[in-house]
Amino acid sequence: MIAACATTLCLTASLAAGSAVAQDADAVGRAFADHCFSPHLTAETAQARIGPSGARVDFYDLRPFSDAAPSPVVGRPMTAGTDRRCEVAFDGHAPVKALNWLRTGIEQEGLLHKEADVPEGFAPQDGMSFIAAAQLNPNRIAVIQVGVRGPADAPETFINVERLTPLNEVSK
């Protein structure tokens, strides 16, 4: 009986570990491209639309464009000077795939040729593969990033877009 219980525990642990590894970088990337640039996304809709991809979602929107209630910061600390973040992360080292999905999202949103200077405070960090900025409208810039973080034996790839507060408010 003890052997049967030990086997069951080992099988359960194996299945649980397997589910964490079963994340599909393409499914997560597609979810990012299709949803993270939407100004109508809320924390609730981000979980509903992006969560099924297997992504870990970090989302806040303190100043929604729609009449939706603000979505507070609940994940990593808020980046100074931003009022919105949509980030997906998944297990593994796949920055090239992540960058391709980021490009897909930029293209889908018509931001391909709307480059902007990356603002101070967004310098590349360890593990970052890509950082750029796009002009959303005359007063708004989005910073987009791809990178890999965490220990070498358990890396996590991330893709994010952070919307800066309006330019005329930053200068006040």
At 62-105, the pLDDT tens digits run 999 888 899 999 988 999 999 999 999 999 999 999 999 999 99
Q: Which of 29, 44, 39 is nearest to 74 (CA)?
A: 44
Kindly state the tokens that stand for 13: 């642990």
What is the rounded CA–CA span in Å between residue 92 and residue 99?
Answer: 14
Assess contact for 131 and 143: CB atoms under 8 A: yes
| 3-class SS string, 9-70 | HHHHHHHHHHHHHCCCHHHHHHHHHHHCCCCCCCHHHHHHHHHHHCCEEEEEECCCCCCCCC
pLDDT for 166 equals 83
pLDDT for 13 equals 32
pLDDT for 96 equals 95
**Which residue numbers in the chain have pLDDT < 70?**
1-22, 167-172
Q: Which long-range contacts (CB under 8 A, 24 or more apart) does 45-51 make?
A: 46/71, 46/86, 50/88
- pTM of the complete model: 0.81
